[in-house]
Structures are given as C-alpha cells and as structure tokens.
C-alpha cells in the first residue's frame, strides 16, 4: 500500500467477517482474502494510460463512410418540404436519407423496458419536428467534414408553431404530440388528496411545505455517443457502439429493428462514460444502423459535443412539492408529494419516477404518505436516465428535514435520529410497503459523527459569523435500492464464465460492462481470491455481445453485487473441479486439496504439490487420467440471481463557506460515510462515490441545460455548460461501514449513491450557512445570482423565465380550443344514450393499462347479470378471474396480484358505446389510466 495522502487518511477499513449467504453454498472468509478488499491497481489502466484503449471513434473499417445529420432549427412545427438536391451534388456525398427512406424497415423504437412507447418514435423526424436539434436528414459522405458541408445544404421548409418548453408550458399549452388529450405522458397516484391524509397534515403541530425545482442536466460523458455499423454478410450486423451493455444493445436492436434472422453482434471494448445516456440506441444511432442496412457500406457517426449538449437525451428536469407534518418533538406524522418531470418530446422511457415516492420515506418512520406523480411531454430533447434517476427523493426529504429542524428549533442531526429506522428496529416495513432488513443510514450517521466534531464546528461557525463570514454544515442520509434483478424485464442476473487455461492462467468472460467501473479489475480480484491464483494471472473479458450472456450492464448500481456473486459461484464450481481432479490424480482425499498461489497442494504431503498448469494440462490433454465421468477441461459458469433488492446506505457531511459579497460557495470539507457491504476494491468504491459527488456538486452549483422561450438551447458548448473542474471538487474523506448484504459475497451497489446524497448534503450546507438571511429556495443550480438574492433579500434574478410564460400567455385559450376537436366522441351525446338505451357491456374488450413501463395490453372479458359482474383479464402473463358490480355503464372489480408485489388492483371503468375508460388503483402505487375498445 502506498502512503495514503491526506484525503484518504481518514479511511477506515473494516474487515468483513463471514458473509451471509442466500443459497446452498457457504461463502466464508470474504475480506480476509488476498485480493478482495485490496486497493489493487486496475487491469484497465495500462492500455488507457498509453493511448491503446479502443473507443468507438478508434474503429476504422475498409470502405467506411461518415454520417452527419441535418437537424431542426425549431422546436415545434410541421415539415413542409425537404430538398436534398444541392446537398446531394457536393463532391464526396453518397446518399441523403429522410424518414421516408428509413421507413421501409418499420423500426419500432422501444423503450428501456423493451415495449413500444405510447408515442411513435422514429429515427428521423416524421412530418413534424418536436425539438430543436431533432434529426431530419442523414447524410452519408467520404468524411465527416464533407458530411457536415452537405448537411448544412439540405433545405427544409417548416411551418413553425409556438413550442411547449417547460413543465409549466406543458400544463397549459398545446399538445406536443398531435392526437393526444394533454401533455401528460404518464401519471400515477391520486389527484385529490386523501381526506384522512389531509386531516393529518392540517392538524399537525408543524407542517413544512418544501418545493424543489431541479434543472435539466446533460449526462455529458467525456466520450459522446457514437456508432460504427457494418454488415458482414447478408445476415450479419456488427455494431461498434459506445454503450452501457453490448448485450442490452443487441437485444434492443434485435427487437426494435424486427430482423430476427440477422445475427447481431455488438462490440464496445472501452467506453468513455455513460451515466445513463447510453443504455440503448436512440434516434441517431438507430438511423445510422438503418442507413447501413440500406446503403450497405460501413457507416460511422460520432456525435460532436455540440450535438451532445443540444440534441442528446437529457435528464433530471423536475419539480416537486413535499408536505411534511411533524409533532412538537420533530417526529414525522404524515407526508404528501406532488412530482412532475419533463420528459421532453421522445423520452427513452416515459418516466413519472414512481421510485421517488417508493423511497422518499423508506428509511424513516413515516406513518402516512400519499402522492401524485406525472411525466410531461414538451418540445425539448427526450428524457434518459442519469446516475440516481430518483435522487429527488433524497434531495427533497433531506432539505425538508433541515427546514423543519430550523423551524421547530431542533438540531438537524437530532431530527434524523428521532425518525430514522435503526438497524435494531429492523426487520421493518416502510410506509410504501418496502421490507427493510439491514439498512444502516442511522448507523452511517453515527460513524460519520465520530469523524466530525459538530460542537466544535458550531462554535467556529458562531465566532466567524461575528466577522461576517458564513460557514455552513450540511448533513444528509439516504438509502438506495441496488443490485435489482427480476422486477423489470431488462434487469436480470449476471453471468460469469471462468476457465483455467492449459497454461494455468485464468481467463474469465463476464456479462458485465465497464464505462469506467473497473469491472475487469474487481472481477479479477474475486477470481484470484477464490481460485487461489495471483491477480496478475487473471484476465477478464467483457464488452462483446458474442461473449458471455445477457445483462443490462451498468444500470442501477448492480454489477459489483450481482456479477460479484456470479464470479464467486463460478470460481467455487471450478475450485471443486480442480480438487476432484487433483485428488484423483494425486491419490488423495479431495478434502485435503488446497490451491494457493497457483499451486495445488495436498495437506500433509508436500511432495505431491503440483502447479495448477500441470493439473490443467491433464484436465485438457490427458483424458485417460481423468476420473470416471469427469468433464474434460477446467471450465465453469454460473448465472447469479441475487435477492430482489440490496440496499446501500450512507450519511454525508460537508462544510461550506458562502461569500456574502458575491454569493460564491467554497467547499471546505466533505466526509462520506457509506455502507456498501463488502468493498471488493476500496479504491474503486471511493472512485465511484467521488465521481458521483462531483456530479452532485455540478448539479447544485453550476450545470444547467437551459432553453429560451422558443426552445433553443442556451448552453450549447462547454463554455456555457459548466462541468465541475478540479478546482471545484474538494478532497473527499471516507468512512466505510461494510455491513455484508444478503447477496453472495456481501456486496452492495455503490455506483449512484454519490450523485444522490451529494446534492442534499451540499444544499443543506449552503442553507445552513445562509440561515441568518432566511431560507434558500431550492431552485438548482444555486448560482451566485440566486444566493445573493437570498443574502440581500431581493430578487436579483434574470427575467428569462417569465419570457416563456409571456409567449405562452399571448395565445389565450389556444390549448382548450386545439384539444377539443381532437376528441372524437362528444361526451354529452353518450350520456344521453346511457339514460335511454341499455349499455352493452358483455363480451370482449381490448384494453390497455398506462403503466410507467409502457402500455400493458390485455383482453377484458365481461359478463353481467343484474348488478353482478364477472369475467377475466387476460394478458401474455396469464389470465385472472374476477367478480364485481355493475351500475349503469359503470363497472367495479378488484384483482389481487402477488407479482411483482402483493397488491389489490381496484378497477373503476365506464363504458361509452364501443369505448371503455377509467382507472385502476394499484394500492400504494396510486392510479393509472385504463383505455380500450370493444373487440370486434
């Protein structure tokens, strides 16, 4: 170990005792191994440090041509004409395609959940444009320079319409997508506050109403998006693409392109960061793939930074109001959350972020919670994930707790101590029904406080305030569901395939994928540890869909947990194989065989020691010496299915100074106390947390994708989109709690936590510093202008925001007038019919449930007898019978389901002619819309 420097000097490394296990295999002694728990140097580094990495732009194929896009300069309108003649004449241009050309493939651009989105999304604009930067035409040319020359010469005529830019615009403006009733992309929860909950809130001694406005973020991986597509035969499609899982891309492309007979291979050796942007291809990548199939030449498209900042999917733009009721002791009584997210025009998943509500009070003793949650379409680039997509739950809760502490007059640490669920109080169940067995935010907080003297800080803070210097302390805690597998179709287990080569060296192929995560390192540490071979002898391969098996890769802080478990299980299978063979060959009891430092030894018989290579040579090359029935070779594989959810916990503290002359914030100290169970490589763990915390600093202080009132992006380059630089990020200090999880190996996910907890920690510190001036409205980023407004008690803000409202307000009544003619059935008539005619309910209905994961289609069969209703709902998953009631055209029935969780679905439907509509209340998840029509 090299001498730890100041920033890691406080690091605490807890040796982990025997790990709990959930399967038949006993996994003992984790953390006492030679490699697990060590700050091993990374396997990836030598090639990346010497310029030998292989990123997508480093791929060059014979005959390869280059792509650039003609993009929409307006946010909303119809395309009247596209003229490519002039562009086509540029020397070096090979082809120019529009959506009409690509439509021959009828690609279905499915969501992250692998279902068709409820608005049709095409690779290139289809008759209309819905955001500035939307690709309209694709140019193929000899090189990128010429492609851009020609792209600028494609003449497109638009009929521009006033755009819907903000969530506010979406509520009142015209519809982004023609034919829809409103701009709500998806909604859950209850529009009306439950009476009982309302009473609890109203009658509470203290009610805090916290509002958070979160700006839009560009994921901004240092490597932008890009793809090289080539057909290596009539039925082969090879993609080099920067992504978060080659396997997920292969699966997505196979389903989206509808080319089942085509062998798709996806390769992504090195990826320059993903952070949620690169889960699967979107418009541009899909267009390039289709163009490759159409033009039959290898094509390359590398997104430039301007495109990345203005036309890639983006994240986070959201607003939330959280009401929290407290008693006089600061104990939680009830809460309600109203959440909205800007999904843009073509989101990768139509998000209403139900997870915000699932987890907002998960680790706190909260008796009652209700919510309304909605996603909105706007004329902006679509929504995609960004590290800790549901992070709003921690941001709004932890800032609300500090506001409450100030108002009630108790210490912010004390208010958490009074409300957090401690380890001793578990097992417990959260207000949303989440089972808690081993979350440790309270314990992380106490460990944190061992490293930080709050009393001393408060004294220093008080004395400096007399000198007009304003320091603040921010504390936050959180828990995070990690390593999830099973609840969502794309979230699966992980596969480890490992072999001891005839040379005695170890080669493993993993379903994992690194965009900087260092999985080739951490998995090699596990293999070396479990197999008893030197770390240097292990090579781990990943990044190619033709190797290993399916996994979504980096998504949801999962690889260390799940793939780590898979590696342990596969290694143990292989060890047992070696032992069986060695015992046979060396005439010993298998129980006496050990492998250490690549030597196979027999207890008590040192003369029988053999190198692993010798044993491997026998396994592969001397079938006569194998025990009866022994499979030749030394290979094993295991696909590990972890427990449904593994929680990570953390508490963070940071100290800031705010310059009250300028509103500038300086971060003086930051301590992270986290519990990620077994840390395979603490340096990798700290790297993940540090990167997330830096992104949190960016979100709080400087990053912002903004738009003007016409939907034009205002931060189109890195001159204006400010990423944190080295001077913005302090040295982080770490405390590791390390409570082993229930999953094999005891790991807990750590990929996203920093980006989640860092935001409220820093906001709380700033609010604490400025508390003498009043509360700091949580409108991110907290720019110097916004903070100085708090300090001076007057609004110094720009007037840009109101401009948007003015434009929208300039067309009074536009929205309702536009919407009405699109409603085909005139409701008053239908009501009149109800009164006079018998309503036809009996028979089959094609229905759809608008869930956040996409429309869930089903067939409803209804039979009525008087006021009694019976029937079934049938879908691909199976059929469920029900009985209920009928009153006129209104149907009511309940269905009890057990998967993915135990809930009762309460249907309230109404039949109008051949249409059926209404709601399905899904227990604590709230209500979703049901629509459908009579089956013919």
Partner 1 sequence: MSTHTVTMTINGRRHTGTVEARVSLADFLRDQAGYTGVHLGCEHGVCGACTVLVEGNAVRSCLMLAVQADGAGVTTVEGLAAADGTLHRVQEALMNEHGLQCGFCTPGIVMTMAALSGEGKKATETELLDALSGHLCRCTGYQGIRRAAQQLAKPEAMDTANGEQS
Partner 2 sequence: MKPAPFDYVAPTTIDEACAILAEAHGGATVLAGGQTLLPLLNLRMSQPFILVDINHIAGLKGIARVDGGTLIGPMTRQCEAIENTALQQHLPVLVEAVRHIGHHQTRNLGTIGGSVTLGEPAAELPATAVALKATIEVRSIRGSRNIPAADFYLGPYMTVLEEDELVTGIRFPDWSPGHITLFRELAQRPGDFALVGLAGALSIESGKVARAGLAWFGMGPTPMRARAAEQLLLGQSVHEIDPQAVAAAAINDTAPFDDQHASAEYRRTVGARLFASTLREAIRVREAA
**Interacting residues with partner 2 (CB under 8 A):** 144-145, 148-149, 152, 304-307, 661-664, 702, 704, 706, 714-715, 717, 719-720, 722, 724-725, 727-728, 783-785, 788, 792, 796-800
675 binds, among partner 1, partner 2, none (CB under 5 to 8 A by kind): none
State which residue, 75 or 421, has the beta carbon closest to partner 2. Answer: 75
662 binds, among partner 1, partner 2, none (CB under 5 to 8 A by kind): partner 2
Residues 702 and 698: their CA atoms lie apart, in Å, by: 5
45 binds, among partner 1, partner 2, none (CB under 5 to 8 A by kind): partner 1
Q: How far is the CB of 726 from partner 1 (least distance, A)?
A: 4
> Binding string, 23-42, against partner 1, x = CB under 8 A?
---------------xxxxx
620 binds, among partner 1, partner 2, none (CB under 5 to 8 A by kind): none
406 binds, among partner 2, partner 1, none (CB under 5 to 8 A by kind): none
State which residue, 728 or 910, has the beta carbon closest to partner 2. Answer: 728
| Alpha-helical runs (H) found in 70-166 | 85-88, 99-102, 144-151
Judge whether 248 and 280 are in contact, CB under 8 Å: yes
Residues 539 and 879: their CA atoms lie apart, in Å, by: 48
Rounded-to-5 percentages of helix, strand, coil across the chain: 30, 30, 40
23 binds, among partner 1, partner 2, none (CB under 5 to 8 A by kind): none
Q: How far is the CB of 761 from partner 2 (least distance, A)?
A: 20
Q: Which residues pair with 344 in a beta bridge?
A: 377
896 binds, among partner 1, partner 2, none (CB under 5 to 8 A by kind): none
State which residue, 524 or 763, has the beta carbon closest to partner 2. Answer: 763
What's the token pair of residue 288? 């390039």
The dihedral over CA atoms of 218, 219, 224, 227, expressed in degrees to the nearest 10, equals: -110
List the interface residues with partner 1, window 260-279 (CB under 8 A): 270-273, 275
Which range of residues in 217-225, 442-450, 583-591, 797-805 is near partner 1 by CB under 8 A?
217-225
State which residue, 229 or 702, has the beta carbon closest to partner 2. Answer: 702
> Binding string, 722-761, against partner 1, x = CB under 8 A?
-xxxxx-x-xx---------------------x-------
State which residue, 517 or 710, has the beta carbon closest to partner 1. Answer: 517
Using alpha carbons, select from 416, 437, 397 the residue that is nearest to residue 673.
416
501 binds, among partner 1, partner 2, none (CB under 5 to 8 A by kind): none
Q: How far is the CB of 480 from partner 1 (least distance, A)?
A: 18
Q: How far is the CB of 299 from partner 2 (least distance, A)?
A: 17
Q: How far is the CB of 35 from partner 1 (least distance, A)?
A: 9
Q: How far is the CB of 668 from partner 2 (least distance, A)?
A: 18
Residues 243 and 238: their CA atoms lie apart, in Å, by: 14
**DSSP string covering 877-889, please?**
TEEEEEEEEEETT
Residue 876 burial class via C-beta count within 10 angstroms: exposed 0-12, middle 13-18, buried 19 and up: exposed
Helices (H) and strands (E) in the chain, counts: 23, 37
What's the token pair of residue 758? 């860092």
788 binds, among partner 2, partner 1, none (CB under 5 to 8 A by kind): partner 2
List the interface residues with partner 1, window 516-575 (CB under 8 A): 516-518
Output DSSP code: residue 497: E
Considering only 16, 36, 55, 359, the residue that binds partner 1 (CB under 8 A) is 55
**DSSP string covering 169-232, please?**
HHHHS--SSTT-SSSEEEEEE-SSPPHHHHHHHHHSSEEEEEEEEE-BB----SS--EEEEEES
Residues 415 and 475: their CA atoms lie apart, in Å, by: 11
3-state secondary structure of 299: strand
694 binds, among partner 1, partner 2, none (CB under 5 to 8 A by kind): partner 1
Q: According to the binding rule CB under 8 A, does residue 48 interact with partner 1? A: yes
Residues 605 and 608: their CA atoms lie apart, in Å, by: 6
Residues 884 and 892: their CA atoms lie apart, in Å, by: 5
Residues 179 and 379: their CA atoms lie apart, in Å, by: 15
Q: According to the binding rule CB under 8 A, does residue 823 interact with partner 1? A: no
The Cα-based distances of 636 to 44, 494, 499, 727 in angstroms read 24, 14, 6, 48
Q: How far is the CB of 546 from partner 1 (least distance, A)?
A: 23
Q: Which residues contribute to the site for partner 1 (CB under 8 A)?
A: 1-2, 5, 7, 38-42, 44-46, 48-53, 55, 57-58, 60, 145, 220-224, 270-273, 275, 304-305, 514-518, 683-684, 686-687, 690-695, 717-719, 723-727, 729, 731-732, 754
């Amino acid at each position: 170990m090299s001498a730890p420097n100041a920033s890691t000097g406080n690091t605490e490394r807890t040796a982990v005792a025997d790990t709990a296990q959930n399967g038949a295999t006993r996994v003992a002694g984790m953390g006492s191994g030679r490699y697990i728990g060590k700050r091993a140097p990374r396997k990836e580094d030598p090639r990346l440090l010497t310029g030998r990495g292989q990123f997508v732009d480093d791929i060059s194929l014979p005959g390869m041509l280059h792509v650039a896009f003609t993009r929409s300069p307006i946010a909303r309108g119809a395309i009247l004409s596209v003229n490519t003649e002039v562009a086509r004449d540029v020397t070096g241009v090979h082809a120019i395609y529009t959506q009409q050309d690509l439509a021959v493939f009828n690609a279905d651009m499915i969501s992250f959940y692998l279902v068709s989105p409820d608005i049709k999304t095409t690779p290139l604009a289809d008759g209309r444009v819905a955001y500035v930067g939307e690709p309209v035409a694709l140019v193929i040319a000899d090189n990128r320079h010429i492609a851009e020359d020609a792209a600028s010469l494609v003449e497109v005529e638009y009929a521009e319409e006033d755009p819907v830019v903000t969530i506010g615009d979406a509520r009142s403006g015209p519809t982004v997508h023609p034919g829809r009733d409103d701009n709500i992309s998806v909604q859950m929860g209850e529009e009306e506050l439950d009476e009982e909950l309302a009473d609890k809130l109203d009658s509470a001694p203290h009610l805090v109403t916290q509002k958070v406005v979160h700006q839009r973020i560009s994921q901004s991986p240092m490597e932008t998006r890009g793809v090289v597509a080539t057909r290596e035969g009539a039925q082969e499609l090879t993609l080099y693409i920067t992504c978060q899982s080659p396997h997920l891309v292969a699966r997505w492309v196979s389903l989206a392109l509808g080319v089942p007979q085509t062998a798709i291979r996806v390769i992504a050796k090195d990826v320059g960061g993903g952070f949620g942007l690169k889960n699967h291809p979107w418009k541009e990548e899909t267009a390039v793939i289709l163009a490759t199939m159409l033009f039959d030449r290898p094509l390359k498209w590398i997104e430039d930074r301007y495109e990345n900042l203005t036309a890639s999917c983006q994240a986070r733009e959201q607003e939330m109001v959280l009401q929290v009721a407290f008693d006089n002791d600061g104990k939680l009584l009830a809460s309600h959350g109203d959440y909205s997210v800007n999904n843009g025009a073509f989101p990768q998943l139509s998000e209403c972020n139900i997870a915000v509500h699932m987890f907002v009070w998960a680790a706190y003793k909260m008796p009652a919670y209700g919510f309304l949650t909605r996603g909105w379409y706007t004329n902006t680039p679509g929504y995609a994930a960004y590290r800790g997509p549901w992070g709003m739950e921690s941001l709004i809760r932890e800032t609300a707790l500090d506001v409450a502490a100030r108002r009630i007059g108790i210490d912010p640490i004390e208010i958490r101590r009074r409300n957090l669920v401690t380890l001793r109080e578990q097992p417990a169940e959260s207000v949303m029904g989440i089972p808690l067995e081993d979350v440790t935010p309270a314990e992380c907080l106490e460990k944190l406080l061992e490293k930080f003297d709050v009393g001393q800080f408060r004294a220093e803070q008080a004395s400096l305030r007399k000198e007009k210097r304003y320091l603040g302390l921010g504390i936050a805690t959180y828990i995070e569901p990690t390593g999830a597998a099973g609840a969502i179709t794309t979230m699966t287990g992980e596969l480890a395939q490992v072999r001891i080569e005839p040379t005695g060296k170890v080669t493993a192929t993993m379903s994992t994928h690194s965009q900087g995560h260092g999985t080739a390192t951490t998995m090699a540490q596990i293999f070396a540890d479990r197999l008893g071979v030197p770390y240097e002898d292990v090579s781990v391969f990943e990044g190619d869909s033709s190797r290993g098996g399916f996994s979504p890769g980096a998504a949801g802080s999962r690889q260390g947990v799940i793939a780590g478990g898979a590696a342990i299980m596969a290694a143990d299978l292989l060890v047992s194989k070696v032992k069986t063979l060695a015992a046979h060959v060396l005439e010993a009891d298998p129980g006496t065989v050990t492998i250490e430092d690549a030597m196979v030894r027999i207890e008590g018989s040192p003369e029988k020691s053999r190198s692993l290579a010798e044993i491997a040579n026998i396994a592969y090359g001397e079938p006569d010496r194998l025990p009866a029935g022994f499979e030749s070779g030394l290979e094993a594989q295991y696909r590990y299915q972890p427990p449904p959810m593994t929680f990570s916990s953390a508490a963070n503290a940071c100290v800031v100074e705010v310059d009250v002359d300028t509103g500038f914030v300086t971060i003086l100290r930051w301590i992270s106390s986290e519990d990620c169970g077994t840390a395979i490589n603490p340096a990798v763990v700290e790297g993940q947390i540090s990167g997330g915390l830096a992104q949190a600093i960016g979100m709080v202080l400087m990053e912002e994708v903004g738009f003007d009132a016409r939907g034009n992006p205002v931060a189109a380059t890195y001159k204006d989109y400010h990423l944190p630089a080295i001077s913005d990020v302090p040295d982080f200090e770490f405390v590791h709690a390390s409570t082993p999880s229930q999953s094999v190996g005891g790991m807990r996910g750590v990929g996203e936590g920093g980006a989640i907890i860092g935001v409220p920690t820093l906001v709380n510190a700033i609010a604490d510093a400025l508390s003498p001036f009043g509360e700091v409205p949580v409108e991110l980023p907290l720019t110097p202008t916004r903070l100085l407004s708090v300090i001076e008690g007057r609004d110094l803000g720009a007037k840009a925001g109101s401009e948007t409202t003015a434009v929208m307000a300039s067309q009074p009544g536009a929205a309702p007038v536009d919407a009405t003619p699109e409603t085909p059935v005139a409701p008053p008539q239908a009501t009149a019919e109800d009164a006079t005619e018998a309503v036809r309910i009996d028979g089959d209905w094609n229905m759809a449930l608008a869930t956040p994961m996409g429309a869930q289609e089903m067939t409803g069969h209804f039979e009525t007898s008087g006021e009694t209703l019976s029937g079934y709902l049938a879908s691909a998953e199976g059929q469920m019978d029900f009985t209920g009631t009928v009153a006129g055209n209104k149907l009511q029935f309940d269905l009890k389901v057990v998967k993915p969780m135990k809930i009762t679905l309460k249907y309230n439907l109404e039949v109008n002619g051949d249409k059926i509509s209404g709601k399905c209340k899904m227990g604590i998840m709230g209500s979703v819309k049901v629509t459908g029509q009579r089956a013919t």
